[in-house]
Each structure stands twice: as structure tokens, then as C-alpha cells.
Amino acid sequence: MAYETLLYDVKDRIGTITLNRPDRLNAYNDRMASDIRKAMAEAANDPAVRVIILTGAGRGFCAGADMQVLQAVPTDGTPRAASAARGDIGDAFKSKYGPNLDKEFADMTRFAYFMRTKKPIIAAINGPAAGMGLIMSLYCDFRFVSDKAVITSSFAQRGLIAEHGIAWLLPRLIGPAHAFDVLLSARKISPQEAKEMGLVNKVFAADTFMDNVHAYARLLADTVSPRSMAVMKAQIWKSLFQDFGTALEAADAEMPPSFVWPDFKEGVSHFLEKRAPKFADI
């Protein structure tokens, strides 16, 4: 499938989605929103893909919403038109693995479908990530950042609010105190500080950034069960809506199907035989 605002590539069982508006630091617009959904759907349903990487072309990850789009927003109180976001991919993100997330993350106009994507998504923050760029990365399962990147929410400096569910998601990822800091100050956050507050998983040197990201993605793609990843991803996101007892019951319900799935037998066999695993694609 051809895309207007991004590049899509599959290699070594890794699907890489590269935002491709480098002349505008990959600024986000409605066309990009639609392209990302379609590319994520393509990766989610391709058995040759086990891990998804989302990154940016050039020197930036995503500088936020395109200023040309923001300048066109009505300031007289007229409701803002919804992004052209629904109905272009159908049920592409429905998964039979793990707890069902269709109710909790039903929205298709922002990035909630990232959670329902049955494969792990890595945000490879290669450069500046601001506003919508930050939000996009928060909906991913992992965030790796270049030591030359900078992160900012930016909304308060534009007279805006915590958009697109970030006021719900960010405190759950880094705690309320850090969330207040990131959102209310809108200050620029260094990669190391972002790691210290739990905003990102790892910081890699800029000159070897994508090599390190791909090495981690290959670890997931080559050594662990795709079904196990899908179930555990759904368990983790579902747990944000559950108490401990409910989460425990859900885990108990997931164990019997795991025992009969071929990956359990393969998981034991490859360990005992000291060889690389041959897990089933999903």
C-alpha cells in the first residue's frame, strides 16, 4: 500500500512506520492520521510482522500538529471538525488474543487503537517530539529516545489543554506529580530526565540510535512468542481498568489456552534442546 505522509517497510519480522514530512519536522495533519491508522492495520494483520516501530524521517520524530492546521482552527466557538478517521480500516484491530479491549480503547480518531494492536509498538523518538508527537509516543508500548532529542507537551504554551486522552494516560505512566510538571510547564525535557521520570524506557546515542532500536525489536521478534506478547499486552492495558482480583481471575482464565497453544510446547523444547525458537506467527 502506498502512503502520502509516511514510509512503510518490513524486514526481519519488523514493520517500520516512518513519518515522512521531514521538511516540516513530520508535523501531524489529518492525512498523516489516516496513513498511520492504515499502516498500523497493515502491520497488525501481516503474519510476517511481529514488532512495529514508529519513527520519523530526518532530524525529527514529530513536531506536533501542523501550524497550518492550527491556524485554520475556528476561534469563534464553532466546534472543531473531527479528524477524518473512522471507517477506513473496519475491524482491523480486533484481536482474539488476551482480554478484549474494544470497549476501553474504542476511539479511532486519536491513537487508542494502538492499544488494541496485538503486536508491540515501539516509539523510536529520533528527534524532537512535541504536542501530538508526544501524545503519539505515549500510546506506544515502548519509548526509546535519541540522546539528541527533546520532548515537550507544548499545549499550555499554545493556550490549549491536555488533548486526546493524555490527561488520563500520562499520570498512569509517570505519576501525577510528573504529569503536572510535563503538562503545566510545557518545558523542554531532556532524554535523561525523561528516562528518570519513566517517560521513556531507554536512551540511545544518536549515531547508533536506530541500530539499538532494531536490536531490541529483533530480540522481541526472534526470541519470544508472538501470541504471548499479544496476550500480555492486552492484559497490561486492560489492568488499568481492573482491581487486583479481577486481573488475577483474568490471568487464570488465560493460562489453559496457553498450555494448548503450540508455542508452549515449542517454548519448552527449544530451551531443552538449546536452539533458537520457532514460534508460530499470528
pLDDT tens digits in sequence order for the chain, 282 residues long: 789 999 999 999 999 999 999 999 999 999 999 999 999 999 999 999 999 999 999 999 999 987 555 444 545 565 555 554 444 566 789 899 999 999 999 888 789 999 999 999 999 999 999 999 999 999 999 999 999 999 999 888 888 987 889 999 999 999 999 999 999 999 999 999 999 999 999 999 999 999 999 999 999 999 999 999 999 999 999 999 999 999 999 999 999 999 999 999 999 999 999 999 999 999
Looking at residue 89, its pLDDT comes to 60
Return the closest-CA partner of residue 115 out of 125, 105, 103.
Answer: 105
CATH fold group of domain 6-221: 2-enoyl-CoA Hydratase; Chain A, domain 1 (3.90.226)
Task: Report the helix count and the strand count for the chain, using DSSP H and E.
Answer: 11, 8
Looking at residue 189, its pLDDT comes to 97
Looking at residue 77, its pLDDT comes to 63
Helix (H) or strand (E) holding 124: strand 121-125
Q: How far apart are CA 272 and CA 282, in angstroms?
A: 24
Looking at residue 198, its pLDDT comes to 97
Helix (H) or strand (E) holding 54: strand 51-56
Q: Bridge partners of 185?
A: none
Helix (H) or strand (E) holding 116: helix 113-116
Helix, coil or strand: residue 181: helix
Could you give the angle at which helices 244-260 and 226-239 cross, rounded to 10 degrees?
170
The phi-psi region of residue 41 (left if phi > 0; otherwise alpha if psi is between -120 and 50; otherwise beta) is alpha
- Grid coordinates given for 90: 473496519
Return the closest-CA partner of residue 147 out of 127, 133, 131.
Answer: 127
Helix, coil or strand: residue 148: coil
Q: Bridge partners of 15?
A: 10, 52
Distance of CA 170 to the CA centre of its chain: 13
